[in-house]
Every structure is written in C-alpha cells, then in structure tokens.
Amino acid sequence: MSWKCSFCESFNSDEKIICEVCDSISPFLAKFNYKHIGNNKAVIEWQAENARKVIALFNSKKYDITNWKAARINLNESLSLVSIFVINEVTERTYTFGIPKI
C-alpha cells in the first residue's frame, strides 16, 4: 500500500514517513500491541505519531481514540480485526491488525 500527500498529490511507499517530493510529514502508528486477558478479551495499546486525529474501527463501529493510549476489547470472532486510522493535514493512513481469540 502507499499513501498520497494532500499537499503535492504524490504517492509515497508505506515505509516512508516524509513525503519524497515536498517533505511533508505523514502520521504513522509507531506501536501496536495486544495482550489477552481471559479467553475472549484483550487489551490493545498503540502510539500514534504526528496525528491530529486517531480513529479505531472495531466490530463495525468507529471510535475516536485520539486521546486514548489503550482499550479493552471483547474478542467475538476467532480473529477479531481492529483498524486504526491516523489522520493529519498531510494524509490519512490505515493500519489493520488481527487479534486471535484464545
């Protein structure tokens, strides 16, 4: 996947944080961890950098997690998917993680 700079309209590879054309800095997810607590629950932790807004998509619901650092979630599927959207004026980037149920 790649991300598109909203300032210069160029596409950049996912590994790049700084736009290769105009040097704008994209938001990115610096950390994502999870720890199982019981059979059907987990605690997820993340660290977003350069983001003005952070949104999580879980169980078809969106949550504004801009000021959060962790959350406890129920694992309803054998593999629960969590998508984290990190957003700033340069671009919006999406990270998706699968968390297995024990």
* pLDDT of res. 98: 97
pLDDT at 39 over 90: no
Q: How far apart are CA 67 and CA 42, in angstroms?
A: 19
Which domain CATH number covers 27? 2.60.40.10
Q: Write the pLDDT tens digit of every residue in 55-67.
A: 999 999 999 999 9
Q: How large is the average pLDDT for residues 3-13?
A: 98
Q: Which two tokens stand for residue 66?
A: 């801009």
Domain count, the chain: 1
* pLDDT of res. 38: 87
Residues of the domain holding 29: 2-100
Q: What is the mean pLDDT of the chain?
A: 97
Paired sense of beta strands 79-87 and 92-100, if any: antiparallel
What angle is formed at CA 73 by the lines to CA 69 and CA 74, rounded to 5 degrees? 175
pLDDT at 1 over 80: no
pTM surpassing 0.85? yes
Q: How far apart are CA 71 and CA 50, in angstroms?
A: 20
